[in-house]
């Protein structure tokens, strides 16, 4: 591995001159204060830097179809952004939300992305709509690939929130924005009293299915192109010195829970009532402009929305994304993704969750930021004893730094999981990502684990993981992604998530894409070939293999479709259950499946996402349908219903030869304002016979102050004939939580 790293560094050094660069624009200081009212018409705005936009889609390089003026400036406390977003026909302005953190891909929206460290990899996004809603998120890994989000959930982390404000207004000529972002909410490193950052400005015009950007961003980099910090324009601030406030956020919880559980003889359900009163504290201290310390005591996440139920038709564990706010701050920094999109050396849901059940977190600390040229993240949390699990301490230390050129990095990570009974699990990893030339990147990873229960030897490949990945990041012309990975038999990261262990193999993709230009109804289209093959280390047998050729396209009216034919081979080493009655037995299987995916634009009152699949499935057949229907009735009311149906047929089996799986997921959201909302989530899967209901009211008068009323219920629908008789519900919880932030 050391030789590979040396060769890569030399190659990257020789090709450094081929990288893109942006001329840095010096941002002007506001000489007089402006009134923060969503009406950016004071003369002070007109002396600031004007930001010119270029059409990104549907026709790259054209002038925007609608005119506007965008200004950016700053004072001692804030970065200020103003936008006059004009429309020839203002009645066509379209927005369907007042919700915090709504994704705004198809709605009228305006926002900026700041690469505050100017590292061409990480970014902070701030967006709004004509209703004045706020969406903020972080960007990792230059918006490329899986991993980087909340423990493998993708490069964008929409659960991240910070302190900032926006106000909007509209009239018969368009809509208007005033946005202010405190320097204290950003992490940056001044050099000689000058702070350099990257800037991307984005305007969505829903009526024209249009995205305009500054700077001009080539659509060849795909759907995530407008979120790539490496394509940002350079800006600088002279003398920006943020305050260093201390945020103190105590919380209080009061609630009641009722459970029905089987008695010891399992012939009757017994009622168990649990009143709950609790309190805790979070403290955030900005040590300096680029280093933040967070402390938490008696951490509780009672307000977090329930996990989405998932249907598992594989023999592998399901992945659930992190939703808890405390673990969102710079979560991308702790990312050490492995071979899969979700596999990671650090998976924060191991902390404070056991199965479906919350485990008390006594407290912990997190330190994130930049020291010298190093990005650094440290996290330590202590949990209480739960069931057979002892009280445990979880720790992670992650460091990364830029090397050779502005798109290449090396780093390391150490994770620990220490039980108070003496159990130990320790892991370390080294990684590097190098931009070699053009859009070609090489990604290298090495990791090892030690587990006291296994007693593995570190000087061995058994507890090791390694990966070599080469990719060309483009969706125009020829692109590729080749990956080799090895996961040893005793590789067991106690704080991580690994879906396929004890395997080695290859996977990748070849693609050729076209962006046909202004005279075509298509925005882009491509043909692709995905393939993988993994073998088991235990016996050398095949774990799985697949080949999938396909075709996909996006129209200029925001319709997306993908068609693929997947040939698959599976080597099942041990029997596994699809249900209580249907078992896939040990053996090797070969099957083929046709898949079709269609998405319609969300900039309409009704939109749909749908997947249809049909073909062979192990020793039988599968017919599948997965769809989500969304209704945008107004900017105050949204309704969506997701439905997944799988019909499994095994005609050669004499008994237990069919299974129908129905999964329903319905959400309703009413937004009284940008501060007050009520949401309802109902989920049901017939094979589990579990009806889960989650109702939440949230009042957020300002950032850091939150009131939640939460009602959760878990019950059966069809178990009336069971012996013993089932209770009316298994669990019902009512909880009130209030958090108030004091700024010192």
Cβ count within 10 A of residue 733: 18
Give me the sign of the Cα torsion angle 219, 220, 225, 228. negative
Same domain, 157 and 54: yes
64 falls within a domain: yes
Mean pLDDT of the chain: 90
d(CA 242, CA 162): 15
Cβ count within 10 A of residue 287: 11
Same domain, 382 and 301: yes
Tens-digit pLDDT profile for residues 226-278: 999 999 999 999 988 777 889 999 999 999 999 998 888 888 899 999 998 99
Same domain, 312 and 200: no
Same domain, 175 and 297: no
Please give the pLDDT value at position 629. 96
Please give the pLDDT value at position 406. 82
Please give the pLDDT value at position 154. 65
Same domain, 231 and 294: no
Tens-digit pLDDT profile for residues 409-422: 999 999 999 999 99
Same domain, 366 and 481: yes
Same domain, 216 and 326: no
The mean pLDDT of 48-77, rounded to a whole number, is: 95
29 falls within a domain: yes
| Domain extent at residue 121 | 21-238
Please give the pLDDT value at position 148. 42
Which residue in 42, 67, 92, 47 sits closest to 203, CA to CA?
Answer: 67
Please give the pLDDT value at position 22. 57
d(CA 470, CA 363): 41
Same domain, 204 and 118: yes
Domain final position from 501, 530, 553: 501
467 falls within a domain: yes
Farthest-apart Cα atoms in the chain, separation: 83
Burial of 539 from C-beta contacts in 10 A (0-12 / 13-18 / 19+): exposed
719 falls within a domain: no
257 falls within a domain: no
Contact between 719 and 689 (Cβ < 8 Å): yes
CATH at residue 64 = 2.60.40.1190
Q: Is the predicted pLDDT of residue 583 greater than 70, yes or no?
A: yes
Same domain, 347 and 209: no
Tens-digit pLDDT profile for residues 500-539: 989 999 999 999 999 998 999 999 999 999 999 999 999 9
Tens-digit pLDDT profile for residues 709-732: 999 999 988 766 778 888 889 999
For 106, 182, 640, the CA distances from 558, given in Å and listed in that order, are: 8, 35, 19
Cβ count within 10 A of residue 308: 14
Q: What are phi and psi of 404, to 5 degrees?
A: 65, -60
Please give the pLDDT value at position 181. 96
Q: Is the predicted pLDDT of residue 8 greater than 50, yes or no?
A: no
Q: Is the predicted pLDDT of residue 16 greater than 60, yes or no?
A: no
d(CA 656, CA 22): 64
Please give the pLDDT value at position 60. 95
Same domain, 116 and 178: yes
375 falls within a domain: yes
Q: Is the predicted pLDDT of residue 147 greater than 80, yes or no?
A: no
Q: How is residue 628 written in tokens?
A: 């989500």
Burial of 478 from C-beta contacts in 10 A (0-12 / 13-18 / 19+): exposed
Same domain, 102 and 199: yes
Domain final position from 473, 501, 529: 501
**H/E element holding 3?**
helix 2-15
Contact between 81 and 51 (Cβ < 8 Å): no
Domain final position from 454, 480, 501: 501
488 falls within a domain: yes
Same domain, 467 and 338: yes
pLDDT-derived band at 215, boundaries 50, 70, 90: very high
The count of domains in the chain is 2
148 falls within a domain: yes
Which residue in 600, 627, 601 sits closest to 612, CA to CA?
Answer: 627
Q: Is the predicted pLDDT of residue 34 greater than 80, yes or no?
A: yes
């Amino acid at each position: 591995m050391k030789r590979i790293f040396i060769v890569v560094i030399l190659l990257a050094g020789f090709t450094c001159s081929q990288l893109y660069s942006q001329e840095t624009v010096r941002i002007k200081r506001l000489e007089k204060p402006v009134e923060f009212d969503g009406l950016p018409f004071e003369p002070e705005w007109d002396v600031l830097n004007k930001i010119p936009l270029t059409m990104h889609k549907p026709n790259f390089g054209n002038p925007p179809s609608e005119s506007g003026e965008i200004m950016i400036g700053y004072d001692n406390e804030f970065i200020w952004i103003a936008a006059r977003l004009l429309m020839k026909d203002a009645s066509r302005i379209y927005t369907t939300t007042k919700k915090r953190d709504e994704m705004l891909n198809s709605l009228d929206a305006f926002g900026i992305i700041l690469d505050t460290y100017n590292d061409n990899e990480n970014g902070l996004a701030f967006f709004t709509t004509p209703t004045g809603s706020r969406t903020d998120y972080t960007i990792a890994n230059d918006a490329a690939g899986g991993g980087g989000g909340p423990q493998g959930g993708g490069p964008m982390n929409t659960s991240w929130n910070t302190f900032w404000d926006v106000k909007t207004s509209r009239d018969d000529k368009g809509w208007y924005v005033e946005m202010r972002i405190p320097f204290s909410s950003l992490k940056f490193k001044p050099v000689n009293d000058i702070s350099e950052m990257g800037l991307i400005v984005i305007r969505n015009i829903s009526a024209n299915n249009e995205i305009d950007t500054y700077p001009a961003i080539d659509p060849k980099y795909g759907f995530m192109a407008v979120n790539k910090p490496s394509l940002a324009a350079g800006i600088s601030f002279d003398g920006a010195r943020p305050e260093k406030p201390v945020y103190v956020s105590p919380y209080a919880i009061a609630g009641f829970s009722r459970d029905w559980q089987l008695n010891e003889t399992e012939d009757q359900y017994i009622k168990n009532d649990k009143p709950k009163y609790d309190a805790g504290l979070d403290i955030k201290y900005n040590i300096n402009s680029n280093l933040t310390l967070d402390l938490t005591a008696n951490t509780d996440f009672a307000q977090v929305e329930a996990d989405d139920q998932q249907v598992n038709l594989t023999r592998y564990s399901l992945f659930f994304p992190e939703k808890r706010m405390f673990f969102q701050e710079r979560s991308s920094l702790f990312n050490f993704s492995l071979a899969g999109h979700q596999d990671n050396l650090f998976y924060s849901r191991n902390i404070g969750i056991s199965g479906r059940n919350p485990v008390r977190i006594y407290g912990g600390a997190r330190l994130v930021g930049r020291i010298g040229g190093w990005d650094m993240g440290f996290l330590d949390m202590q949990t209480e004893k739960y069931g057979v699990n002892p009280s445990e301490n979880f720790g992670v230390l992650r460091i990364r730094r830029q090397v050779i050129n502005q798109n290449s990095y090396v780093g390391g990570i150490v994770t620990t999981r220490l039980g108070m009974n003496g159990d130990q699990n320790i892991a370390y990893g080294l990684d590097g990502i190098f931009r070699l030339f053009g859009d070609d990147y090489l990604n290298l990873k090495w990791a090892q684990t030690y587990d006291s229960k296994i007693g593995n030897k570190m000087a061995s490949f058994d507890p090791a993981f390694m990966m070599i990945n080469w990719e060309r990041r483009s969706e125009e012309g020829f692109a590729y992604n080749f990956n080799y990975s090895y996961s040893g038999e005793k590789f067991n990261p106690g704080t991580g998530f690994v879906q396929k262990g004890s395997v080695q193999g290859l996977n990748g993709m070849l693609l050729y894409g076209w962006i046909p230009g202004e005279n075509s109804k298509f925005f882009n289209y491509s043909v692709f070939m995905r393939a993988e093959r993994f073998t088991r280390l235990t016996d050398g047998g095949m774990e799985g293999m697949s080949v999938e050729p396909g075709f996909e396209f996006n129209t200029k009216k925001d319709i997306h479709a993908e068609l693929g034919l997947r040939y698959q081979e599976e080597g099942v080493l041990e029997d596994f259950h699809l249900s209580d009655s249907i078992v896939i037995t040990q053996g090797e299987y070969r099957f083929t499946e046709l898949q079709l995916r269609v998405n319609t634009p969300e900039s309409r009152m009704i939109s749909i996402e749908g997947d249809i699949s049909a073909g062979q499935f192990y020793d039988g057949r599968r017919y599948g349908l997965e769809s989500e229907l969304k209704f945008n009735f107004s900017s105050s009311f949204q309704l969506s219903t997701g439905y997944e149906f799988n019909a499994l047929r095994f005609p050669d089996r004499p008994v237990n030869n069919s299974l129908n799986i129905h999964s329903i997921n319905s959400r309703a959201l009413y937004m009284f304002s940008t501060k007050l909302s009520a949401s309802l989530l109902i989920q049901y899967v017939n094979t589990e016979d579990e009806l889960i209901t989650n109702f939440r009211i949230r009042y957020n008068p300002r950032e850091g102050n939150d009131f939640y009323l939460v009602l959760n219920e878990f019950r059966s629908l069809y178990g009336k004939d069971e012996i013993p008789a089932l209770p009316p519900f298994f669990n019902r919880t009512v909880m009130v939580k209030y958090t108030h932030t004091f700024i010192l």
